[in-house]
Structures are given as structure tokens and as C-alpha cells.
Amino acid sequence: MNNYFDLQGKTALVTGGNKGVGKAVSLGLAEAGADILIVSRSGAPDELIEEIEQKGKRCEVIQHDLSQLDQINDLVSKSLDLCGKIDILVNNAGVQRRADAVDFSEEDWDFVQDVNAKAVFFLCQAFGKRMLERGYGKIINLASLLSFQGGLRVPAYAASKGAVAMFTKSLSNEWASKGVNVNAVAPGYIATEMNEALIADEKRSKEILDRIPAGRWGNPEDLAGAIVFLATRAADYIHGEVLVVDGGWMGR
């Protein structure tokens, strides 16, 4: 069964692959045999690059701000120049802004939509086009529990992740018969930098923890396994799925 989960010879691009969930995903894909291209606004630490290379895999890094939507074609060109091909695209990078809905600014709304939804769609489009030409590709987008629920004080984030879930399905409807798998992973409450404000709020953090059947917040490695699975041959017949990885939250 090992060959079902073997990514030898594949190249994976991970946005936001330098820390948190993205770092865990980069390491997990490398462990499975893929070469890694990390796209991040701040680059990637030498220690992470070395850790990937110690697994016998290549690691390239492109510094890129995904909010600069007019530069996506440049990112695609740089990626293909560096790696020749992208077999696996993991759209992990995301941003968050919190405010009461009555006070939520247009600037914050546009920023969240641009990074979390618009950039993700157009990366799917750009790399998907190349995958369709080759008749092979795996695209895994990061959705959220807020693809299904409204959340509190995060209307733009909820809207963006609802969009990700729906265009994941839409792209799958067009591309599933052409060798390209498009799926998403919806993380539950994961202990990362983005959730520091929630974790620091003792009352809210306890409310969240009390609802999670697994009895703990998730960690980035909990998501890495699910994303690696969707990137492998083991998931060839999975299309348009939004895989919830939430410690049982949605089943409560």
C-alpha cells in the first residue's frame, strides 16, 4: 500500500508554507517524497529549508505578496522557471481581520477577500491551466469551519472561506474528468498565530474547547496528513470534497 501515498517525482507549491500549518504541510509533503516550492511574503527560514533538504528533497522559495493580484502571472512564471512543473498546489496562505460587523471597514473587507478568495481562485486558474494541458494535477485549497458557519466578528473571513468551498466544487465539476483533482480541507480550531487572540481569550477559548469532542485544539500536523493524502494517488477518485479536520466539532 505504500505506493498509494508516494509523491516521489512530484513538485508541490505551498503558499504560506513557511510557518504554522503551511510549514507542517511543506514538511509532510517532503516526507512523502515531493520537492517543495514555498511561496511566502516573508520568505522561509534557513532551518526549514535545511530540514526539507535533509529529507533528500529540493526546496525553493519565492517571496511574494498574494494581495498584489496583478503579480500572479509573474509568480506563475517564476514558479515554472524554477521547478519546470507544479504537480500539487496547496493554497494555504490566508489572512484575518476581526471587528464588529457594524464597524468592519471596506479596506479590511477587500484585503481579506483579495488574499483568501480572489488570489486563491486565480492561482487555481493559472496552475490549473497547466495541469489540464498535462492531464494531471492536485489542487488542495484551505477552507474553514466558517465555510459552513458564520463565526463571530469575522464577516469577511467567513465570506472568503465560503467562496473557497464553493469554487473548489465548481472547478472540480469542470476538471475532474480531465485528470485534475480539486479539493479543500476545512480546519477546525488550530493552535496557530492566526488564532492567538482566541487562545488568549480565556472565556472564548474554554467555550471552544468544551465543544471539541477530541478535547484539544488541533495542531498544524493534524492538517498535514489530510493534505498529503489528498495530494497522493490514494485520493485519485476524490473530487470537489471539503474535508473537515476539526476534532469532531461539526459532528457535535
Considering only CA atoms, which of 57, 60, 9 is closest in space to residue 31? 57
Instruction: Please answer whether residues 246 and 223 qualify as being in contact, where contact means their C-beta atoms are separated by less than 8 angstroms.
Output: no
Q: Is 189 a catalytic residue?
A: no
Cβ neighbours for 74, distance < 8 A, ≥ 6 positions apart: none
User: Grid coordinates standing for 23?
Assistant: 510549514
Instruction: Quote the cell numbers at residue 96.
Output: 484575518
**Set 136, 157, 189, 237: catalytic member:** 157
Query: Which are the catalytic amino acids?
Result: 157
